[in-house]
Homo-oligomer: A and B are copies of this chain.
Amino acid sequence: MTFQAVSVLAIPLDFNSSHLTGSAAAPPVIQEVLHNGSANLSSECGVDIGKDTRLQDAGMLDWPDQASAFNCIEQRAAAIRHSGHKLLSLGGDHSITYPLIRGLQTNKNPLTILHFDAHPDLYDELLGNRHSHACPFARIMEEQLADRLIQVGIRTLNDHQRQQAERFGVEVHEMRHWKGVPALDIKGPVYISIDLDALDPAFAPGVSHHEPGGLAVRDILSILQQLDAPVIGADIVEYNPSRDINGMTAMVCAKLYKELAALLLRDCQKS
């Protein structure tokens, strides 16, 4: 499939968070520090996202009530896909990745998900909520919406989640086995999901769950830059502005945003 552009969609949803809310407010804070004059708008490989008209703002998603939020997300993702656009989603807790993938995967095309996180998010349910931000990849894998799920940064596997990972054939790159940036052999279309807490809290204090022993910002950037498979969508989730200090974590999101945008634009047709 060919794509013409990248739609940037803000998703202000955090009601599926188990510990602290806050990630619903992320999108405009990220957009603001991206454009505040502190840095230029070039990605590290030289794509100037300030000039590339194929990067298009799709606004902030809205929904009439919590019960229909997942439907709205799914439908919007599907509409973006059907219009020949890729999706770059900003904000929200990690629960939104499930309806996003459903929307992008209406035909269940082959798909690899590259997932950065401290947590595997494979719980069958948490606190009675099967749509908790701790569960999205259990749902995705149950519905066979992806062929491969590759997780990087994981450092909180307990027995239940380890079993879930085995059951679904998840390729878990645990931090305890980290030996520098791994060579990930990824061929087909890829979706990238970045939970900010994949990073060590030193790099990203503005998250709801501080889990020490995580990745450096550079680790994520290196993996993204080594990817040569086509990327069809991406999300940046779990940034919590009300836990941030002086906008430091917002700037990390802005950096990731620039690099993801450049990656998504790489194989879009020239406009």
Contact = CB atoms under 8 A, between A and B. Distances in A.
Interface of A: 12, 14, 18-22, 24-25, 27-29, 31-33, 35-42, 44-46, 48, 59-60, 62, 155-159, 162, 174-176, 178, 200-203, 205, 208-214, 216-218, 221-222, 225, 241-248, 250-252, 255
B201 A216 contact: no
A28 B46 contact: no
A203 B202 contact: yes
A123 B11 CA distance: 35
Given A178-B218, A200-B216, A245-B246, A19 B38 contact: yes
A32 to B, nearest CB: 4
Contacts of A27: 28
Given A62-B59, A178-B218, A42 B213 contact: no
A247 B19 CA distance: 15
A162 B40 CA distance: 13
A209 B248 CA distance: 10
A212 B252 contact: yes
B210 A241 contact: no
Contact of A39 (B29, B200, B209): B209
Per assembly, the copies of the chain total 6
Given A38-B209, A174-B44, A203-B200, A24 B14 contact: no
A140 B48 CA distance: 27
Given A175-B218, A200-B202, A202-B217, 19 more contacts: A19-B37, A22-B33, A24-B28, A24-B31, A40-B156, A42-B157, A42-B158, A42-B159, A44-B174, A46-B159, A175-B221, A176-B221, A200-B216, A201-B248, A205-B245, A211-B255, A213-B218, A242-B250, A243-B246
